[in-house]
Chains A and B, each alone.
Chain A
Amino acid sequence: MRSSVKKDIINILEGVNKAFTSYDPDEIMELSNHIIHSASIYQEEHTTKTAIVVYSIGKIMARGKIKRYPQEAWNEFETTVRDELVKAVKSLKKDGVKDFTNSLLRLQQAVMKLDKSFMSYADYVVDKAKIKKGAKVHEHGISIKRIADLFGVSEWELRSYAGATRMLEREKEKSNVKKRLERVRRFFK
């Protein structure tokens, strides 16, 4: 793993640990946005997986505020997240990439376990996280097909999400419809 990527992930996870302890889901969501820059530039699995896990934790916490999870399930989740965040950072500092990856996996599994214990429909946090973070990377100028591979989602899911955003409106580009229409008219002549 590149040292700049490692440094970025360590900073993010230490931030997440702090925000998790003080029950600040907004800060965690902000941290998940921050790592998108690295995910776009380096496009390697550790940054994308970290982005997904961090966002998922933030989302679970945000839901927890509004819809109370069963206490026992929440306590188990809390313990796992705290332990694994510390382990993940320790592993990365020692260049233990395999151990770090395993911690990420356990974090994801903890989110999925809590999520499934509560949600009765197939709208799971981790799946949503992949789409949402993938769409964010697309805003950074990476093609959807490329992102679909990176995040392990289908193009169908990403396109339907990306189409609903106001990304193109924010870019305020000059229209080239006229040129393209002329092109297609020539083609069909």
Chain B
Amino acid sequence: MRHLVVDSSSLISLSSNCLLWLLDKLRADADLQLVATPEVRAEVVDKALKIERFRLGGVRVLKRFCNGTIVIDETDPVKTNKILRTANSVYKVKGRSYKIVHKAEMGLVPLAEKKGTGLMLVDERIVDKLINNPLGLKKVFERRLHMKVEIDKSKLKELKSLIGDVNTVKSSDLVAIAYEKGLLKEYVRECASKKTMKDLVSGSLWGLKKSGCSISTNDIKEYNKLLF
């Protein structure tokens, strides 16, 4: 069984575009088990059910908790707090720590380690950049704040050590892999054509982007180039 720890950001993107069925397909086809923390469930299900506009989205995710596509597991609170404190002290603005991430996001790392998986499904751009391009993130801050931002190198080193080999993928990557595995064919069975399949993939990527998955227009062009 392949475990993939999932963030609320990805579940929201997928649910908003009625694409959660991809997770069911990947579970059946590729033995994928999604794991979420109780905090993730609280955000994507419990909160959504209280907001009329997002209630249906919440039910879509709830279905996946009920059918076992997503299971709940607890993360390590001590490790989580350590990673959170470190992550939120990497960048300094006006001599103060620039706090950029939330406890629930950093809690995914110890859970990923616990499940023996190297991957977290996260659509949030700040978490992705913090892990994969911390210098690039510094430039974003400087551009937006119009002031110098310092990186505490020892904190950054400590963060890299705490995160280890755990890395991120996005819901858009799952769409791509589902396409490569032929799992999208059934969806357009009645009107199967190369163009329709391309439209399904491209439309899904645009939908995810518009729902908050942190992919750019260039990223979507790159997906099209790599997949077709």
1/0 per position for A128-141, CB-CB distance to B under 8 A?
A: 00000000000111
* Pairwise interchain contact B218-A142, C-beta atoms closer than 8 A: no
Within 8 A of B (CB), among A147-183: 149, 154-160, 162-164, 168-169, 171, 173, 175-178, 180-181, 183
* Pairwise interchain contact B177-A184, C-beta atoms closer than 8 A: yes
- Complex CA gap A39/B54 in Å reads 27
* Pairwise interchain contact B47-A154, C-beta atoms closer than 8 A: yes
A139: chain B residues within 8 A (beta carbon): 144
Tell whether A146 is near chain B: CB-to-CB under 8 Å: yes
Tell whether A121 is near chain B: CB-to-CB under 8 Å: no
* Pairwise interchain contact A178-B222, C-beta atoms closer than 8 A: yes
* Pairwise interchain contact A188-B177, C-beta atoms closer than 8 A: yes
- Complex CA gap A175/B144 in Å reads 21
* Pairwise interchain contact A188-B181, C-beta atoms closer than 8 A: yes
Within the complex, the shortest CB–CB distance from A163 to chain B, in Å, comes to 4
Tell whether A143 is near chain B: CB-to-CB under 8 Å: yes
Given contacts A140-B144, A168-B215, contact A181 B100 (CB under 8 A): no
B209: chain A residues within 8 A (beta carbon): 163
B98: chain A residues within 8 A (beta carbon): 40-41, 141
A91: chain B residues within 8 A (beta carbon): none
* Pairwise interchain contact B216-A146, C-beta atoms closer than 8 A: no
- Complex CA gap A174/B209 in Å reads 17
Tell whether A145 is near chain B: CB-to-CB under 8 Å: yes
Tell whether A101 is near chain B: CB-to-CB under 8 Å: no
Which candidate, B74-82, B166-174, B190-198, is the interface stretch facing chain A?
A: B166-174
Tell whether A80 is near chain B: CB-to-CB under 8 Å: no
1/0 per position for B77-113, CB-CB distance to A under 8 A?
A: 0000000000000000110101111101100000000
Chain B residues engaging chain A, CB cutoff 8 angstroms: 2, 4, 8-9, 12-13, 16, 30, 32, 43-44, 47-48, 51, 53-54, 57, 93-94, 96, 98-102, 104-105, 118-119, 124-127, 132-133, 136-137, 140-141, 143-146, 167-170, 173-174, 176-177, 180-181, 209-219, 221-223, 226
